[in-house]
Structure 1
Amino acid sequence: MTKLYGSLEAGGTKFICAVGNEDFEVIEKVQFPTNTPAETIEETVAFFKKFEQDLTGIAIGSFGPIDIDLDSPTYGYITSTPKPNWSNVDLLGQIAQEFNIPFYFTTDVNSSAFGEAMVREGVDSLVYYTIGTGIGAGAIQRGEFVGGTGHTEAGHTYVALHPYDIEHGFTGVCPFHKGCLEGLASGPSLEARTGIRGELIEADSEVWDVQAYYIAQAAIQATLLYRPQVIVFGGGVMAQEHMVKRVHETFETLMNGYVPVPDLADYIVTPAVAENGSATLGNFALAKQISQ
């Protein structure tokens, strides 16, 4: 019997479904917009049904917040998300009821963190941030996800405001918090400040230094809380080639030599898995783990 593993990266903008073999090579992959729960879950089930005979497990990495407490009556649910129509949706339950195989359920950033740790030799302590439409982070220590009654929500920690934002009275775009990392450094914050989509903003715009200030604070939080071997920043905002250098410079200034860290070129980095495939790779491994 051919053993296949399923991956669902359930994002607020798009769902990415993939099936891989025992070497974690992608056999088939598809993505589609995150529409209503009924439409999107139906498309997801239809994709995996094509491989049902050989699938041994599926891992889901979802946007959140989600309930990952196995003892909770809402385990597997997307909970208090600002994504319209998706609050209190039983994502895992609606998919899993269509299959007779085990499922692993975690956050999309945990999946990405797991994938990134897999390809970095000797690394079992890592923090992965996605800086995109939203901001989330997954942390791994000694090969295990960090979290207790739930997953971490590092995207909603409060950060010190940049002087530019103080001057302009900008407190972010998060509907829950004023002054949190996601509200101040996610992709939509760029357009809220400038009226221009992030990918169209000139590389020499001062707004990138504002972004770097907040992202560097995220790296400092990760450093002081978890002392990881590597911090990975993925997502659309970090696709700007100049951003990593800006974050390095600001991190160095703000940390001010307080604790030792590796060379920043090796410590604060962008994803090592090509084509935003970190979550897919991590999910394949988690699906294999749950199916053994």
Structure 2
Amino acid sequence: MEKKSLKFSRTVSSKLQYKINMSIIFNYLRENGPISRAKISRDLKISAPAVSRVIDKLIKDGYVVETEKLVTKGGKRPTLLKINQDKGFVIGIDLGKEKFKLALTNFNGETVEKYRGFRILNDKNIAEKMISEIKKFLSKCSKGEKIKLHKVRTICIGVPADIDTDSGKIISAPLYGNWKELNFKKILSSEFNIPVYIENDVNLSTLGEKHYGEGKNFKDVIFVEISNGIGAGIIIDNHLHRGFHGSAGEVGFTIVNTENLGFKIKNKGFLEKFASVESMKKKVVMAIKEGRKTKIADMVENDVEKIESYMVCKAAIGGDKLANSIICEMVNFLSIGIINLILIINPQIIVLGGDICSLPEVRRLFVEPIMEKIKSSIPFKIPEIKLSSLSEDAGIIGASFLATESLLIGEFPYKIEQE
């Protein structure tokens, strides 16, 4: 998603100046609408006639529509303008959860329809399954007259992997080794004949939370996904930080002490093995097999195959010693990872998301103890710690945002960064 500089070595032509003005006005309207022509002119210091020429063209092309009149104390009431939300639609896909998730959103970021499909496995046929589900979904939407298929303009896919965002190639997929040779961008763009973008799933959840969730009023944000794996997305000065190879935020591989240097098991890092939501279930199963007493065994009538992570939380709330010890260890390890992120990035807010959000009493069992450990370990002001307000939809919301942003920045490449 390239944003072009507004520095020029010589005076620009009137044609280029018009294009620059159109881009700046359109993007400003996207972020601040509904808004009047006069306010756009004042805020951007572009002449009123120049603003009117651009707005008339954007209305003619269907990108902008007029809405209600602004209420004033007297005089002529200006007409407010906003983006035409139905000019186009985008598809956001999240492959980072247990099941395939998809959202159809309009240009305003509003979700028109959501869909939950097949269980995601380490399967080389994942692309074919995706194509089948997307076609089925779009057929259903078009029959219901929610959208016209030609108005679907682009797709963005969130993948639990390190991504070359330009080529679409998967560099490394620790949880899904069979996906490494796949290029979802190439496969889906060929099938649907529209632009396809691909990004790390946690980065997309981070963008979703930054623009529509708990992070929207902050410039420096860290989103920590705690599910079967653990990863972080980093926003610095309103920009997603991917790192040199796109691996920034892979905190699941955090090392806690010198004894664990070089730790890696089946492509999982230390923190993921001992502090992921999935690890809770595995620890209980192992303890029961070793003869430890716990209420969780009674919940499943001693059938360890039926144990789920939420049961550990329920047992802990009821005073179960094993369950509380497992959660305590998990809190300790997560606190170490989060403290290290705070010390290195110094964000304004940290948002915790992923499967952990759906666990019972998550604030009491996890968020509050983590906050206490952070306070006792860091001698200066700490960031706010919040649970994701988007929960399991953060990924598809972020994917839809990036799809829209990438598409429109391609058409309107100039914008003024706002504080």
TM-score, normalised with respect to structure 2? 0.59
- Of 363, 368, 371, the residue aligned with 1:245 is 368
1:26 equivalent to 2:111? Answer yes
Name the CA shift for 1:134/1:117 in 2 (closer, same or farther; >3 Å).
same
1:102 equivalent to 2:215? Answer no
1:56 equivalent to 2:153? Answer yes
Name the CA shift for 1:285/1:238 in 2 (closer, same or farther; >3 Å).
closer
Question: One-letter code of the match for 1:188?
Answer: E
- Of 386, 392, 403, the residue aligned with 1:276 is 392
- Cα deviation for residue 112 of structure 1 reads 0.7
Cα distance between partner residues in 2 of 1:269 and 1:174: 30
Question: One-letter code of the match for 1:123?
Answer: F
Q: Is the 8 A contact 1:41 1:94 kept in 2?
A: yes
User: Paired residues, what number?
Assistant: 273
State the SS of the aligned residue for 1:117: helix
Specify every segment of 5 or more residues in structure 2 that has no aligned partner in the other structure, as ranges: 1-85, 139-147, 286-306, 409-419
- Cα deviation for residue 250 of structure 1 reads 1.9
Question: One-letter code of the match for 2:278?
Answer: P
Q: 1:261 corresponds to which residue?
A: 382
Identity of aligned residues (%): 24
- Cα deviation for residue 187 of structure 1 reads 2.1
State the SS of the aligned residue for 1:277: helix
1:219 equivalent to 2:304? Answer no
- Cα deviation for residue 219 of structure 1 reads 1.4
1:288 equivalent to 2:374? Answer no
- Cα deviation for residue 128 of structure 1 reads 0.8
CA deviation map 1:28-70 (0-9, x unaligned):
2222211464543223223434264111121111111x22253
Question: One-letter code of the match for 1:182?
Answer: E
- Of 247, 250, 254, the residue aligned with 1:151 is 247
Q: 2:178 corresponds to which residue?
A: 85
State the SS of the aligned residue for 1:137: strand
Cα distance between partner residues in 1 of 2:264 and 2:124: 28
For structure 1, which segment, 128-137 or 229-238, has the greater mean C-alpha deviation from structure 2 after superposition? 229-238
State the SS of the aligned residue for 1:85: helix
Question: One-letter code of the match for 1:279?
Answer: G
- Cα deviation for residue 14 of structure 1 reads 2.0
Q: 1:208 corresponds to which residue?
A: 327
Specify every segment of 5 or more residues in structure 1 that has no aligned partner in the other structure, as ranges: none
State the SS of the aligned residue for 2:164: coil
State the SS of the aligned residue for 2:180: coil
Q: 1:46 corresponds to which residue?
A: 132
Q: Is the 8 A contact 2:332 2:370 kept in 1?
A: yes
Root-mean-square deviation (CA, aligned residues, Å) is: 2.7
Which protein has the larger Cα radius of gyration, Structure 1 or Structure 2? 2
Name the CA shift for 1:184/1:134 in 2 (closer, same or farther; >3 Å).
same
Q: Is the 8 A contact 2:221 2:235 kept in 1?
A: yes
CA deviation map 1:115-162 (0-9, x unaligned):
11113442121111111111111111112111222232222121249x
- Cα deviation for residue 249 of structure 1 reads 1.6
Question: One-letter code of the match for 1:55?
Answer: V
Cα distance between partner residues in 2 of 1:16 and 1:117: 20
Cα distance between partner residues in 2 of 1:4 and 1:99: 14
The within-5 A match list for 1:68-217 is 68=164, 70=166, 75-77=168-170, 79-83=172-176, 85-119=178-212, 120-146=215-241, 147-152=243-248, 153-160=250-257, 174-176=265-267, 180-195=270-285, 196-201=307-312, 202-203=315-316, 204=319, 205-217=324-336
Of Structure 1 and Structure 2, the greater helix share is in 2
1:230 equivalent to 2:341? Answer no
Q: Is the 8 A contact 1:131 1:186 kept in 2?
A: yes
Q: Is the 8 A contact 1:5 1:56 kept in 2?
A: yes
CA deviation map 1:221-275 (0-9, x unaligned):
21111111111111223433221112112222233x1x3224xxxx1111022x5
Q: Is the 8 A contact 2:91 2:103 kept in 1?
A: yes
CA deviation map 1:63-100 (0-9, x unaligned):
11x22253x6xx43263424353333223222222122
TM-score, normalised with respect to structure 1? 0.83
